[in-house]
Amino acid sequence: MVEIEEEIKDIKREIIESRNLGIRTDNAVKNLSADIKQIQKKTESYEKKYLFTSAAAYFIFVAIMGAGAYFLIESRSEKLRAENADLLAKDASQKSKNAELEGQLKAKDAASKQAMKVYARLKKDVSAEAIADFDSIKGRGISELEQLLLSELVSSKRIEVARVEYEEGRRALNRKDFDKAEDLYRKAIAHLGPTKDSLLTDLLYDLGTTLHKNKKYAEATSLFERMLQRSTDNARNGEATYLIAANAELTAQPDKAKAGYLKFLEYFPKHKWVRMAKVRLKKLR
């Protein structure tokens, strides 16, 4: 009986222990399940973070690659634009040079044709217009040979034209048409240019005389002084010296006029105007 009771107690104890073990096991399972759920949550969170990080990294990578590609393309585009602008500038410059050369060729051709016309006119007759045409084209497109040949012909024609104008001027002066005479003398001097020809000496004297009559005293004196440097004609030199003094008197320069008359009397004591010079000198004193 006692043994049975002991066995029953043992069985009850084993049952209690088994139940406690089951409870602990159940609790352990529950705790394990909770841990697994937490691990799952952490894993899911990690996966989400990983996916987000991966996506962000991908987008950053794509952005960097895109930016790099953009700057590369932009750099190449800028280089191409610069090269294009340079080519356009060179093209414009070349076109401008071509246009300039074409213009020069046209001008040279036109000048050569004009030179031939001038040559033909000069060979035909004495022409002041032809000389003026030569002066207008000289150094402007015609060749050195054309200019040399024309210059030689024009040089001889200038004297002929100047002589014709000089004679016309003398006739105008005899008619007392001083303005016409002045204009013709000026043209003749311009046609002669720098020369040792005696015609220029005659022109300087006659123009000086004409200007004196036209009351252009200062310019008349200048021309007389130029004439005196060239002339060997004693009578005419005396007249020029007298008129220089007269010009000074007429422009209210008494001291200069006195000196001029005294010079005239000293160098030309037998001149026909000596008496007039003495009268003028006496009035100035």
Mean pLDDT value across residues 154-169: 84
Considering the domain boundaries, does residue 42 fall inside one?
Answer: yes
Distance, in Å, from the CA atom of 162 to the CA atom of 186, rounded to the nearest integer, reads: 10
Tokens of residue 179, six digits: 């303005």
| CA angle centred on 126, ends 125 and 128, rounded to 5° | 130
The more confident residue out of 118 and 8 is: 8
Considering the domain boundaries, does residue 179 fall inside one?
Answer: no
What is the residue range of 54's domain?
Answer: 1-103
Residue 50 has pLDDT above 60, yes or no: no
Considering the domain boundaries, does residue 188 fall inside one?
Answer: no
Distance, in Å, from the CA atom of 36 to the CA atom of 166, rounded to the nearest integer, reads: 135
Distance, in Å, from the CA atom of 144 to the CA atom of 177, rounded to the nearest integer, reads: 43
Considering the domain boundaries, does residue 60 fall inside one?
Answer: yes
- Three-state DSSP at 47 gives helix
Considering the domain boundaries, does residue 173 fall inside one?
Answer: no
Mean pLDDT value across residues 67-75: 72
Query: Using one digit for the tens of pLDDT, what is the confidence trace for 120-154?
Result: 666 666 666 666 666 666 666 666 766 676 666 77
Q: State the amino acid at position 137 in one-letter form.
A: I
Say what the pLDDT of residue 43 is.
Answer: 66
For the four alpha carbons of 281, 282, 284 and 285, in that order, the dihedral sign comes to positive
Query: Using one digit for the tens of pLDDT, what is the confidence trace for 214-268?
Result: 999 999 999 999 999 999 999 999 999 999 999 999 999 999 999 999 999 999 9
Say what the pLDDT of residue 98 is.
Answer: 76
Say what the pLDDT of residue 203 is.
Answer: 94
Residue 213 has pLDDT above 80, yes or no: yes
**Listed ranges 52-56, 87-91, 164-168; the one with the highest mean pLDDT:** 164-168
Considering the domain boundaries, does residue 150 fall inside one?
Answer: no
Considering the domain boundaries, does residue 58 fall inside one?
Answer: yes
Query: What is the 3-state composition of the chain as percent helix, strand, coil, each rounded to the nearest 5?
Result: 85, 0, 15
DSSP H helices, the chain, are: 2-124, 128-137, 144-174, 178-192, 198-213, 217-228, 234-250, 254-267, 274-284
Query: Using one digit for the tens of pLDDT, what is the confidence trace for 85-131?
Result: 877 888 788 877 777 767 666 766 666 676 666 666 666 666 666 66
Model pTM above 0.75: no
Task: Look at the chain and report how many structural domains it folds into.
Answer: 1
Considering the domain boundaries, does residue 98 fall inside one?
Answer: yes
